[in-house]
Homo-oligomer: A and B are copies of this chain.
């Protein structure tokens, strides 16, 4: 069941008004990580609630409690839940989005004020913080609702909404909400599938559906011994230097080709079979794309499938830095007393933090013992999350594929993301239903960077895609 052509026409006709609404949303600097902006995040919650109720959605705010931030006790911004339609004959889809944004200052390197949406007529870019992450996609759903509301057309499916205002700051309070409302009698009871539009195409030309995310386990490895920072003139070659020990340890974690040296970690992941490799081969992405995105000719391999599997379906170990060592410009001859190396491992099924962490800890201890140092080793796990992979042949994905073909006349890329969107796993595990990531923006949108943009065509065609997806969802056999 294709979307009605009058729906597609409506989205085109209203494009300017939709962009104006996006400008209104971007104009509210709803930065969840900045205590001074907490009022704006709450204002944004109210703005969104007003939009939803005006379009016929029954909503409610959910108080998520308090948090400490910058030494203040602050109210968490409320979650905004909504429902529209309760026809038992229709499928029910749960839609998630977040109305908070990353920090942005013009002085960070923005060409224009980050909280004034700039519509660039030449290249069609809508520039502003949150344009792509994640206000654009949320407003895509509002655009779909508006067509049905104004034209008094019934929606093809029942919809439940879950919008939060803390995604960019660890989604505080959301896991508990989702788990609670997913139980029998909860707000999300009866949900058949989930759709999240909060990631990006692999490139700037081919729509994609995303069926996997890597998990993470993040370690802080501290070596300490001296009671204070020492002068290398006085103590060099006199004491066990924590930096020397730490650098030796960190050098044994991953080799320059990306191979993880912690025994058992790489080995935990079965190799890809030919069917799986075919997915990567089919992706509209080249080594040149990888290098263009990285800003340098530094791909680990010239084999596209290998590089894409390295990002999407293999674990990776990155060394992020060292806390406590000399990190300023210039030349300081210090022997730091206590240094903490930070590294993390991106996990893929069947890896979990529970399975991987003991291997890491055992290995670090045994390698440290080999150093014969009198310093002390302390291992902290800072956080972790499981990887997620969905069945990309599920009817939820099939509906999205049909919708993509209908709107974009293209076969979508089937991607796994190298990063994490933890709420995805929470929905999948709490509801036990298929979760689809259906991005609106392009890979070069610069979500957490300066001059974040959403292309006008992604906003307008993306709104058509979201609406069409609902019609395909209604039509497809469970």
Contact = CB atoms under 8 A, between A and B. Distances in A.
Contacts of A218: 331, 333
Interface in A224-248: 224-228, 230-241, 243-245, 247-248
A224 B295 CA distance: 11
A329 interface: yes
A43 to B, nearest CB: 28
A247 B239 contact: no
A383 interface: yes
A322 B418 CA distance: 26
A200 to B, nearest CB: 10
Interface in A345-369: 346
Contacts of A317: 236
A251 interface: yes
A420 interface: yes
Interface residues of A, number: 84
A311 B237 contact: yes
Contact of A325 (B230, B236, B238, B327): B327
A444 to B, nearest CB: 12
Interface stretch (A64-72, A140-148, A297-305, A398-406): A297-305
Nearest to A239: B298
Copy count, this protein chain: 2
Interface stretch (A117-125, A370-378, A458-466): A370-378
A98 interface: no
A244 to B, nearest CB: 6
A376 to B, nearest CB: 9
A456 interface: no
Interface stretch (A17-25, A83-91, A203-211, A252-260): A252-260
A344 interface: yes
Most buried by B among A224, A314, A318, A420: A318
A326 B320 contact: yes
A296 to B, nearest CB: 5
A108 B104 CA distance: 33
A185 B294 CA distance: 63
A126 B196 CA distance: 68
Interface string A173-195: 00000000000000000000000
Given A337-B295, A372-B256, A383-B331, A418 B310 contact: no
Contacts of A472: none
A237 B451 CA distance: 27
A332 interface: yes
A473 interface: no
A220 interface: yes
Contacts of A298: 225-226, 239-240, 373-375
Contacts of A448: 231
B239 A214 contact: no
Contact of A230 (B294, B332, B335): B294
B418 A233 contact: yes
B256 A311 contact: no
A327 B321 contact: yes
Given A226-B294, A311-B234, A320 B332 contact: yes
A316 B419 contact: no
B331 A323 contact: no
A423 interface: no
A421 B26 CA distance: 59
A134 interface: no
Contacts of A244: 254-256, 258, 318-319
8 contacts: A230-B294, A232-B346, A235-B418, A243-B320, A244-B319, A251-B251, A320-B335, A330-B382
Query: Which 6 pairs from chain A and chain B are nearest by CB?
Result: A227-B295, A233-B419, A236-B316, A321-B326, A321-B325, A237-B316
Given A225-B298, A243-B321, A296-B337, 16 more contacts: A226-B298, A227-B296, A232-B318, A232-B320, A233-B346, A233-B418, A244-B319, A247-B319, A250-B251, A318-B333, A318-B335, A319-B325, A321-B332, A321-B334, A321-B336, A325-B327
